[in-house]
Structure 1
Amino acid sequence: MAIKDKTINDLDVALGAPEHAKGLVGRFEQGTLRIPDLFLPNTSGGEEQDSNMKEWKTLSENEIADLATRLRDLDWSWQMTDVDALAARFGWRVEATRPHSVRLDTGFGRASGSVQGYRGRANEIDLAVTGFTSETTATRADIRDAFVVMATAITGAVGAPTNSIPGEYAEVRWAGPDTTLRLIEMTSSIHLYLDTNAGLAVHDETVRLEAEGVI
């Protein structure tokens, strides 16, 4: 469900918008943030072609499997005040801290991860597992292929998915007793999430109500 165009701010960057789009106008659609084509990097070829298109960085199969396993087995307080210690354990760099969110560089550049929470308690860890690339037919195919490879690697590491949500922006979930891993294919990147089951239930209910036009 799309909402009206808005000015891209720091939080939007933390959710996956490219850094260069901050201050410009974009729109959120379910599962992704889309930037108007006018502001996307040049993908027409030649010297001006975005360097991310030439060498797209992704986690390897072993790296994504290891990360998923570590997240599945994560023993953590889920307190926002403990995000710095969590970041140190995983080798992430804290970029900005706010009461309900912490912006991270997880190895894929500025704002490539975040921890979100409410009233001091975290409910979601969001990690880019690929770099950001401009949207073209070719790169969409590359993203889908990488998504399938990563989902297969995670399945080999932690077991069969508990839920798969097909579509243009596919999602695969591995639910545990208290938390759920989610691999999500976005427009220009792939993200791996770890959500508390309580927080994910609220998210899913909100999505359902939006789809029904209730909110």
Structure 2
Amino acid sequence: MRSSASRVRDFVRAAVRLDWSWTASDLDRLCAVTGWTVTRRSAYGATLATDLDVTNPTASVYTSQDELEYLSVVVLDAAMTGEPNDPDTVLDLFAALGIFMLDELGEPTTRTPGGEPVIRWDLPNVVVRLNTRGDSMVGLHLLSPEYQKREDHYDNEVLPWIRAEQQGGGL
């Protein structure tokens, strides 16, 4: 029986090797190679049942105008550690998975340290983000490169303007 950590590693390998088109057909192809199943589809996304040993073993997929934007899944949480809300354990698991992903994907594009660290890899056909969520879980996100470009534009151009306006100074 595979451990949950090896299932996470298998998922990462399968996800980055998938020839992403960022359409609905990607879900069926991803499920075929991972053993996950689509349990719900709607105009705004889908839910996938995963084989991960986490409290809620599902992945959320978000769509816009029939195009996939991103997939988000909790890959490690208190259910794996037996120690709820232990930030050191969650950070240790995050670090271990980050090291595996570094070996698998190469140097990350960005690293954001802090209480809720993020590591991001911009690959040709998929953006992979690994982050902690609070002190109880580690999330993995697969994003379309186009969606990530829009996110970056918002973070780098729009958000600073909004913050400056809120402070009354403008840019």
Distance in 2 (alpha carbons) for counterparts of 1:110 and 1:93: 14
1:128-207 pair list within 5 angstroms: 128-131=74-77, 136=85, 139-187=86-134, 188-207=136-155
Deviation larger for 110-119 or 172-181: 110-119
Q: Is the 8 A contact 1:95 1:104 kept in 2?
A: yes
Q: Does the residue aligned with 2:107 lie in a helix, a strand or coil?
A: coil
Task: Specify the alignment match of 2:50 in structure 1.
Answer: 106
Aligned-partner Cα distance in 2 for 1:112–1:122? 17
Structure 1 residue 109: Cα displacement: 5.4
In the alignment, the residues of structure 2 paired with residue 113 and residue 200 of structure 1 have an alpha-carbon distance, to the nearest angstrom, of 19
Match of 1:59 in 2: 4
Q: What is the aligned-residue RMSD (CA, Å)? A: 2.5
Which protein is richer in helix relative to its size?
2
* Distance in 2, Cα, partners of 1:181 & 1:148: 15
How many pairs were matched up?
Answer: 155
Cα–Cα, structure 1 residues 104 and 132, in superposed 2: closer, same or farther, change >3 Å? farther
Change (3 A) 1:83 1:70: closer
Instruction: Measure the CA separation in 1 of the matches of 2:22 and 2:75.
Output: 21
Unaligned runs of 5+ in 2: 167-171
Decide whether aligned partners of structure 1 residues 189 and 112 sit closer, same or farther in structure 2, where only a CA change above 3 A counts: farther
What residue identity is the alignment partner of 1:190?
V
Q: Is 1:87 the counterpart of 2:34 in the alignment?
A: no
Identity %: 22
TM-score (norm 2): 0.77
SS of aligned partner of 2:20: coil
Residue pair 1:81, 1:120 contacting (<8 A) in 2 also:
no
